[in-house]
């Protein structure tokens, strides 16, 4: 009888232990499956697709960039890639005019452009000349071509010369011609520097006082 009770007690103990173990395993599994996924690290590497679309730093360094205030030694301006380099010996106001014109020298021809304001989306001949004279310190408001026929003093200037008639005007600054008409190709090109001059027949020749 004792042997039977001993065996029965052992069987009951094993059964209870097995049930507790199963309960613990079930709880552990439930906790594991309900645990949130780990958050992504903020230091993860960006997608290579995005990086491949970025500009090539090496190619950008190899692209020439025009200086904001291009300067050359001597008395004469020179033209490089459509940009005028001011001569080092020119007065500060002449350099200022050259550098200012460089900012508009790729804008289009626009009839009446630059008449209401020195700042415009495009320029005609008198608007261009007025812009240059303004940044040389010689003009407070834009003038039309016929008014530029009487501007400043008569004759050619040392640094700046204005040529004007009732229909057209252009200006010479430190040896370069600033004109909106490209007579070499026969078109209205807008404000552009030109390294070649043109005859001033039929034009009044004027210059800013002192320049």
Do the domain assignments include residue 55? no
Counted domains in the chain: 1
- What pLDDT, on a 0 to 100 scale, did the predictor assign at position 64? 53
What is the side-by-side order of every strand in the sheet holding 78-80?
Answer: 71-72, 83-87, 78-80
CATH number at residue 166: 3.90.1720
Supply the pLDDT for residue 49.
Answer: 30
The answer to the question of residue 29 being in a domain is: no
pTM for the structure as a whole: 0.68
Q: What is the pLDDT of residue 133?
A: 98
Averages of pLDDT over each 10 residues, the chain, 211 residues: 43 41 40 43 31 36 69 97 96 97 94 94 96 96 97 97 95 96 71 87 95 96
Please name every residue paired with 178 in a beta bridge, in sequence order, or none if there are none: 171, 193
Judge whether 16 lies within some domain: no
Let me know if residue 22 belongs to a domain. Answer: no
* 126-178 pLDDT, tens digit each: 999 999 999 999 999 999 999 999 999 999 999 999 999 999 999 999 999 99
Give the span between the Cα atoms of 99 and 87, in whole angstroms. Answer: 11
The residue ranges of DSSP E strands in the chain, in sequence order, are 71-72, 78-80, 83-87, 153-154, 160-164, 169-173, 176-182, 187-194, 204-207
pLDDT at position 196: 85
Write down the pLDDT at residue 157.
97
Q: Is the dihedral of CA 50, 52, 58, 63 positive or negative?
A: negative
User: Is 104 among the domain residues?
Assistant: yes
| Residue 40 maps to a domain | no
The range of the structural domain enclosing residue 70 comes to: 63-207
The answer as to whether 165 is a domain residue is yes
- Rounded to whole angstroms, how far apart are CA atoms 132 and 38? 66
Residue 124 domain-assigned (yes or no) = yes
Tokens of 65: 């960039």
């Amino acid at each position: 009888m004792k042997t039977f009770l001993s065996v029965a007690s052992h069987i009951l103990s094993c059964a209870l232990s097995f049930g507790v173990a199963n309960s613990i395993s079930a709880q552990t599994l439930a906790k594991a499956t309900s645990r949130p996924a780990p958050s992504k690290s903020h230091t993860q590497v960006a997608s290579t697709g995005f990086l491949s679309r970025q500009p090539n730093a090496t190619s950008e360094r190899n692209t020439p960039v025009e200086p904001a205030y291009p300067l050359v030694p001597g008395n004469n301006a020179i033209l490089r890639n459509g940009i005028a380099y001011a001569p080092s010996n020119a007065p500060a106001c002449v350099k200022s005019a050259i550098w200012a014109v460089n900012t508009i020298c790729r804008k289009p021809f626009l009839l009446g452009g630059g008449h209401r304001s020195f700042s415009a989306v495009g320029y005609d001949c008198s608007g261009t000349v007025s812009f240059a004279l303004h940044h040389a310190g010689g003009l407070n408001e834009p003038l039309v071509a016929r008014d530029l026929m009487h501007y400043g003093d008569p004759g050619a200037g040392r640094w700046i010369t204005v040529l004007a008639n009732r229909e057209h005007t252009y200006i010479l600054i430190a040896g370069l011609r600033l004109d909106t008409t490209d007579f070499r190709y026969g078109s209205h090109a807008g404000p552009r520097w030109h390294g070649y001059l043109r005859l001033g027949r039929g034009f009044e020749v004027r210059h800013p006082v002192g320049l």
